[in-house]
Chains A and B, each alone.
Chain A
């Protein structure tokens, strides 16, 4: 997302063209690369880094560039400066270095928080507080002989002991660390993984695959009852594009590659996958497969299950893969669907063949303001019915709309602020939209320039039927930015007694409104009952549309001053919210997955027979529970 919006539109397109050309010129070299890597692996010398290895955005030592107790890059964070204005540090994002004048008022107003009341985190990890690793000596000895790099450094272990659930980050900020993996291994290729899994089986070691570490389902938490040595299998070094097939428009990629690298490398060849989950800066291809990820632009490119053509996975029983790359097969239940969403319980995804697309010629943001949420949902439903959804279409409720506005950077000229005022006047006074009810849909169009413009007109015409008013590209773009910085914002909140989280569901169209209203209300009510002193932020957006329903995304946060066990309260409220979702016809998860956080509802969700089917697959593939993260089942 950082790249989008840099410079003017014209410049951007020119750059893109250049990249396409450059990609074509370099292609020869790119095709040779995998051959080298494969040879290295076969020679059993996978430990040395290949010279032509592409620069990876995430190093083995994550601690060098990432926060140990929060989201994302260490150099990027929100803070309130001496004047009380919000600011975002670093150089990586569009917001970086900008001043956000309305953030403080929104923050204090929404949460009843106060900049005077701080809840700072412990400054650094106290490594002595972490239990020493319990190593399986025989395993370590044999692993050494393979030459695959590993570590039992405390920081390495702690980094791989958690995802980004609220309770995980909250503990880290408090300096508390639970059960950690006892060591970390970094395989360099598929064969390395095969060796590791063999050794783990031989020596009875528990393996937990680790990709980008962005889980929000407690999936990476080490089961505290695990007595075997736990080894975190970090796939981050398996990050090469092994080949690109332009005739079939597919690419074969190692599963440890993270989203932004995959996209960047493909762009160099003039292609993209179009798979953009909100976590794409850090999450990995293997992680997407293992959790059934969904991307923002799925309307054009599809979700991960639509993108995948071939998967290779290493299990304790052996390697599972299909023998061909046919686009569709009638060969019994699709074995890919045992792998997709298996959440690291069956094995490690090592290589994936993905569909790719040429980089779109033109991209355009847009937004529509609706007088209220109901109208907005009706419009999205109509767009879905006519199957004319743009690459992305999202409908934010009023609270989220105001949230987005709090992130408006300082305007550079009086003229812009005058224009803003005029727009506001037009919408609220002239059109009679109630500022406390209006909501906004953000749009992203992609494709040929001409088609985009046609498409845009079609969507705006539908919107007009539901009282929607076009509200400019800027509003749209800011809406998408929110989803990329939300996790950074949570870190800011946690500095001031505010904790929060997001969660999601999918639901049939006719229940969208009822579900949104009831879940938001349930959150407010539960907070009150659990003794939260201030009204919470309880907001949602319809974030994906499908033929038969929609994906709804909730943000929920509250000021925890006065609570003795805020995380427990938080968890109780989230639990109640999930019960409410299920009672209103929503699903257990649309794309976050189940992990350990939502396990308790699996039986009710897929029936006990369904659960038994999954268990029998697990029993066959991994009878000794080597992949013992205990997710899902």
Chain B
């Protein structure tokens, strides 16, 4: 399957109409969405009582009451309180208010908000047929406001949105969000059986009744790096269960790719990754942040992928009759088969989100700049960008390139791209920060720039990831035999599977895909049993290897830290600051040039990978201690990494 042949829809700018007609009239427009044909209409309040009276919940209430010795009434009240805290109160008035204010805000922030209308039509169709789950990518707080705004604009049913409890900390705003369809869940409720029961029953009831499309973020939280995060499975499990148990005929999952030219939180994220705490969500914080309204955030693209039917995905993979022998209101732990399936679906959805992410020119520019820290001539940059554009296109990237004459690249590039570059602060800083600073400050500022820049590069990583892993495997494998290269590829893929979206168990497919792409661009030749670098492949392969270099170096630093400095009773909490100061030390001594190792995201991923690979062990579930196991595997990692240098 050739990714280039993938056909994608055209975009429409929804702000265009907003700039030409009254926002007030828009806010008060006649809103009559097409409804789910199996809908049993009910109010938000009835919904709550349905949940509280559901067999599922009553079963758990009785269980909890039996275990804790509390009377069922007390537990019931507790459940009611949880639901009260959680439940949304979607009402059209609030939506209309948001429609008005957001119109104003979006016009100030964005040049355009482009939506694929065919996707909207498919969505409308899907919403009539079966319950729909909207799964947008998550890069910004803007995401869910934007989703509801778009659905309102196109007269589609407004979603109910799973949101983190943090928003409730914001007086007034939290309640506003609640009234626009957000429901709030605690960030962690590990062992709380009652909480889980209320929450899952609430979501399932809405889904079964077709109350509204359900929206949540598979990634669980905003990605601070603009790189897709490993999907969380809890909610996905919940929304699929009604299908598994036959309560609905099908569930449609709709991946939505939201690509920002520049996210609102850009500079915050870089600082956060460097250890500056995330500002607490507060209303006053929001008001202070209004200065962002005066800045230019470019354009935004929202792509609604075709609905994915859970039924077709589950065909041949899930034996639904496994639920025949227990009453359906008794919660069962999902079987291994089911867990693996849900996991696969989650990865598939995230990959669909990635595929339809729109890549802007400066993403490529940032990618190139990060590879030559000393900067480069403008003309050279233009030439290389144009080269990279062609490569990216060949690898199936969804590029939004100004101009329509790709062959005459000089003309295309010379104009709009560079002129719009100053929108992005980091470039200038990469080229050379000035002023009297302490070395630490200088390092910090430089790191902010690099990490901001990296957040652009990260938006195109998914395009190059698999070929890049192969390129790296090619240069590290013991021979050019296909098996050797594959095993090296598989190893690297395994190491980085917390860092990037690499579906477990898809190693062979990924390898084939990587081979296919590298052969296509002429970088590699497949000879019988061997994979060899082609004469002309040097540029591509070295670009690809350099692309992953920062990650490789980052993981090495983490390994070095664990080997050289970590003490016996290191806790996970101490780990990040400790690695950071270790890296800072290396930087200041001049032995480390890589800035990305300072990112807490990379440090966490590296730790998770090491734990997953049994190189490092968590001692006890709660103690949070990290013990280092020098296993054979650990040696393996070390040797693979040292090969690289």
Q: Does A518 touch B at the CB level, under 8 Å?
A: yes
CB within 8 Å of A: which of B450-490? Answer: none
Select the stretch in B292-300, B322-330, B572-580, B632-640 that faces chain A: B322-330
B246 contacts partner chain A, Cβ-Cβ < 8 Å: yes
Instruction: Please state if B246 and A514 are interface contacts (CB–CB under 8 Å).
Output: yes
Chain A contacts for B328, CB-based, 8 A: 510-511
Query: Are the C-beta atoms of A584 and B327 separated by less than 8 Å?
Result: no
Q: Flag A476-514 by CB within 8 Å of B: 1 or 0 each.
A: 000000000000000000000000000000000011001
B321 to A585, Cβ gap below 8 A? yes
Q: Within residues 285 to 328 of chain B, which ones have a CB less than 8 A from any CB in chain A?
A: 319-321, 323-324, 327-328
State the A residues within 8 Å of B (CB). Answer: 510-511, 514-515, 517-518, 521-522, 582-585, 604
The yes or no answer to B247 lying at the interface (CB within 8 A) is yes
- Does the CB pair B249–A518 fall under 8 Å? yes
* B247 neighbours in A (Cβ, 8 Å): 514
Which of B249, B319, B321, B323 contacts A521 (CB under 8 A)? B249
Partner of B327, one of A510, A583, A604: A510
Are A511 and B249 CB-contacts (below 8 A) given A584-B320, A585-B321?
Answer: no
Docked-complex contact B321 and A515, CB < 8 angstroms = no
Q: Is the CB of A517 within 8 A of B249?
A: yes
Q: B116 to chain A: closest CB distance in Å?
A: 26
CB distance from B265 to the nearest CB of A (A): 44
- Are A511 and B321 closer than 8 Å at their CB atoms? no
Closest to A585 in B: B324
Measured CA separation A203–B48 after assembly (Å):
74
CB distance from A469 to the nearest CB of B (A): 22
Contacts of A521 in B (CB 8 A): 249
B321 near A583: Cβ-Cβ < 8 Å: yes
Known: A510-B327, A510-B328. A583 touches B246 (CB 8 A): yes
Which of A511, A514, A515, A583 has the most C-beta atoms of chain B within 10 angstroms of its own C-beta?
Answer: A583
Closest to B320 in A: A583
**For A583, what are the chain B residues with a Cβ–Cβ distance below 8 Å?**
246, 319-321
Please give the distance in Å from A444's CB to the nearest CB on chain B: 31
Residues of A within 8 A of B324 (CB): 585
Cα separation A585 to B321 with both chains bound (whole Å): 6
Residues from chain B with a CB closer than 8 A to the CB of A582 are: 321
A510 partner residues in chain B, CB cutoff 8 A = 327-328
Instruction: Give residues in B with beta carbon < 8 Å to A.
Output: 246-247, 249, 319-321, 323-324, 327-328
> What are 7 A-to-B residue pairs whose CB atoms are below 8 Å?
A510-B328, A511-B328, A514-B247, A518-B249, A583-B321, A585-B246, A585-B321
Tell me the complex Cα distance, A510–B323, Å. 13
Could you tell me the distance in whole angstroms from the C-beta of B38 to the nearest C-beta in chain A? 8
* B31 smallest CB distance to A (angstroms): 25
A582, B325: Cα distance in complex, Å: 12
Task: Report chain B residues within 8 Å CB of A514.
Answer: 246-247
Alpha-carbon separation in the docked complex, A604 to B324 (Å)? 12
> Per DSSP, are chain B's interface residues mostly helix, strand or loop, or mixed?
loop
> What's the nearest-Cβ distance from chain B to residue A582, in Å?
5
Measured in the bound complex, the distance between the Cα atoms of B324 and A596 in whole Å is: 24
The residue in chain B whose Cβ has the minimal distance to the Cβ of A605 is B321
Docked Cα-Cα span, A518 to B327, in Å, equals: 18
Query: What is the predominant secondary structure among interface residues of chain A facing chain B?
Result: helix
Report A-chain residues with C-beta under 8 Å of the C-beta of B323: 585
A521 to B247, alpha carbons, bound, how many Å?
A: 13
Shortest distance in angstroms between B576's beta carbon and chain A's nearest beta carbon?
47
Q: A517-B249, A584-B320, A585-B321 are in contact. List 8 more A-B contacts (CB 8 A).
A: A511-B246, A518-B249, A582-B321, A583-B246, A583-B320, A583-B321, A585-B246, A604-B321
Interchain CA distance A585-B328 in the complex, whole Å: 11
In the complex, what residue of chain A is closest to B318 when comparing beta carbons?
Answer: A583
Contacts of B327 in A (CB 8 A): 510
- Once the chains are docked, how many angstroms separate the CA of A514 from the CA of B323? 13
* A446–B247 alpha-carbon span in the complex (Å): 37
Contact A518 B321 (CB under 8 A): no
Task: Report B535 CB to chain A, min CB distance, Å.
Answer: 49
Whether B249 contacts A515 by the Cβ 8 Å rule is no
Q: Which residue of B lies closest to A374 (CB)?
A: B40
Cβ of B562 to closest chain A Cβ, rounded Å: 49
Pairs of residues from A and B, 8 with the lowest C-beta to C-beta distance, nearest first? A583-B320, A584-B246, A585-B324, A514-B246, A521-B249, A518-B249, A582-B321, A583-B321
Distance in Å: Cβ of A421 to nearest Cβ of chain B: 30
* Chain A residues, Cβ within 8 Å of B320: 583-584
CA–CA, A510 and B328, complex, Å: 9
A455 to chain B, nearest CB (A): 31
CA of A521 to CA of B248, assembled, Å: 11
Bound CA span A517–B208, Å: 13
Bound CA span A584–B247, Å: 9
List of B residues within 8 angstroms of A511 by Cβ = 246, 328
User: How far apart sit A552 and B246, CA to CA, in the bound complex (Å)?
Assistant: 16
Name the residue on A nearest B55 (C-beta): A510
* Min CB gap B41→A, angstroms: 14
- B205 vs chain A, min Cβ distance (A): 15
A585 to B246, CA, bound (A): 9
Q: Which residues of A contact B319 (CB under 8 A)?
A: 583
What B residues does A584 contact at CB under 8 A? 246, 320
B322 shortest CB reach to chain A, Å:
10
**Complex Cα–Cα for A521 and B243 (A):** 14
Report the minimal beta-carbon distance from A587 to chain B, rounded to whole angstroms. Answer: 10
Give complex CA distance A521, B321 in Å.
18
Given the complex of chains A and B, what is the CA–CA distance between A33 and B323 in angstroms? 56
Q: What distance in Å separates the Cβ of A373 from its nearest Cβ neighbour in chain B?
A: 12
The CA-CA distance from A521 to B323 in the complex, in Å, is 20
Q: How far is the CA of A296 from the CA of B247 in the complex (A)?
A: 29
Q: Which residue of A lies closest to B244 (CB)?
A: A583
Within the complex, the shortest CB–CB distance from A432 to chain B, in Å, comes to 15
Assembled-state Cα–Cα distance A6/B462 (Å): 78
CB proximity of A377 to chain B, nearest CB, Å: 15
CB distance from A546 to the nearest CB of B (A): 17
A585 CA / B326 CA spacing, docked (Å): 10
On chain B, the residues within 8 Å of A515 by CB distance are 246
Taken together as a complex, chains A and B put the C-alpha atoms of A582 and B321 apart, in Å, by 6
In the bound complex, CA of A521 to CA of B129 (Å):
11
Task: Tell me the smallest distance from the CB of A569 to a CB of chain B, in Å.
Answer: 19
Shortest C-beta distance, B227 to chain A (Å), equals 38
Q: A511 CA to B242 CA in the complex, in Å?
A: 12
Q: Of all chain B residues, which has the CB nearest A604? A: B321
A319 to B399 CA separation, bound complex (whole angstroms): 81
Complex Cα gap A521–B319 (Å): 19
Q: In whole angstroms, how far apart are the Cα atoms of A584 and B321 in the complex?
A: 7
In the complex, A522→B130 CA distance in Å?
13
Q: What is the minimal beta-carbon distance from B463 to any residue of chain A, in angstroms? A: 34
The distance in angstroms between the C-alpha atoms of A398 and B249, with both chains bound, is: 19
Q: Which residue of A lies closest to B243 (CB)?
A: A518
> Which residue of B has the minimal Cβ distance to A584?
B246
Name the residue of chain B whose CB is nearest to the CB of A525.
B249
Instruction: Name which residue of chain A comes closest to B314, CB basis.
Output: A583
Q: CA separation between A409 and B310, bound complex, in Å?
A: 46
Using Cβ atoms and an 8 Å threshold, which residues of chain A touch B246?
A: 511, 514-515, 518, 583-585
How many Å lie between the Cα of A510 and that of B329 in the bound state? 10
In angstroms, Cα B38 to Cα A517, docked, is 10
Closest Cβ–Cβ distance, residue A418 to chain B (whole Å)? 36
Q: Chain B residues near A585 (CB, 8 Å)?
A: 246, 321, 323-324
Tell me, in angstroms, the Cα distance from A517 to B320 when the chains sit together: 16
CA distance A604 to B321 in the complex (A): 10
Q: Which residue of A lies closest to B329 (CB)?
A: A510
User: Please, how many angstroms separate the alpha-carbon atoms of A511 and B249 in the complex?
Assistant: 13
CB distance from A572 to the nearest CB of B (A): 14
Q: Which of B249, B319, B323, B328 has the most CB of A within 10 A?
A: B249
Report the separation of the CA atoms of residues A583 and B317 in the bound assembly, to the nearest whole angstrom: 12
**Nearest Cβ distance between residue B598 and chain A, in whole angstroms?**
52
Q: State in angstroms the CA–CA spacing of A518 and B328 once bound together.
A: 16
- Smallest CB gap from A522: residue in B: B249
